[in-house]
Structure 1
């Protein structure tokens, strides 16, 4: 069986997106080239940022994906909201309770959604 270990987001400018994600994730890219950057996330998952115009075969437009950030409790959701707001992220949804838990949604410079959340216990 295969185990996915790498997610790639198509972006307009890999260098600009790498700076954004380095600040958001509070860690540097482990690889950085003019059209591609790679981050190693906790747990071993890799996040790649690839300039759309350099993708072969040609990629669809940027944006439209969502990355989830699971947090340990509601206070961590609020703290992340405060940090991301201070970083200047575009906020699409302020912190609120929904069916599955407590969440808010922001957006990266390419329109990818960033959802921070704490799942309610059953």
Structure 2
């Protein structure tokens, strides 16, 4: 029986990435070591940041090949987070825009992982 779900991102420096995600998520990691950092998101998902230099087997895919999707309740929250992340100096790949599934923007973390914030359009 599985009791927890983890998303693992391979990063160059877990300490640097942990600092980045602490600012973005407004929470500290629940675990931090030289090769790994762990956050527990409000949804219960565990977000692990693992040193790409110590992962076995060595990763083959490059960052940006997938996205971490962060759903919010409404378009105003998308705009609020976009403004906050922009003020933090976060690179934004896609400014807030209405797409077929909802209202969204896309940023990247220090390793090039895509972070999509979105509010679904409910019909």
**Shared fold by TM > 0.5?**
yes
Partners of 1:62 and 1:17 in 2: how far apart?
A: 16
TM-score, scaled to structure 1: 0.94
SS in 2 for 1:118: strand
What do residues 62-89 of structure 1 show as CA deviations (whole Å, max 9, x unaligned)? 4123111111111111001000101111
Q: Aligned ranges for residues 41-52 of structure 1 at < 5 Å?
A: 41-52=41-52
Q: Which runs of 4+ in 1 moved over 2 A?
A: 1-4
Distance 1:58 1:96 in 2: 36
Give aligned pairs, total: 122
TM-score, scaled relative to structure 2:
0.93
Q: Which has the higher helix share?
A: 1
Across the aligned residues of Structure 1 and Structure 2, the Cα RMSD in angstroms comes to: 1.4
Cα deviation digits, residues 5-58 of structure 1 (max 9, x gap) = 111000011110010001111100000000100001112210000110111121
Deviation of 1:61 (Å): 4.7
Unaligned runs of 5+ in 1: none
User: 2:6 — aligned with what?
Assistant: 6
Q: CA 1:15 to 1:30, structure 2 compared with 1: closer, same or farther past 3 Å?
A: same
Q: What does residue 95 of structure 2 align with?
A: 94
SS of 1:53's partner is coil
8 Å Cα contact 1:8/1:49 also seen in 2: yes
Task: Indicate if the aligned counterparts of 1:7 and 1:47 stay in contact, CA closer than 8 A.
Answer: yes
Structure 2 unaligned blocks of 5 or more = none
Structure 2 distance, partners of 1:53, 1:83, is 31
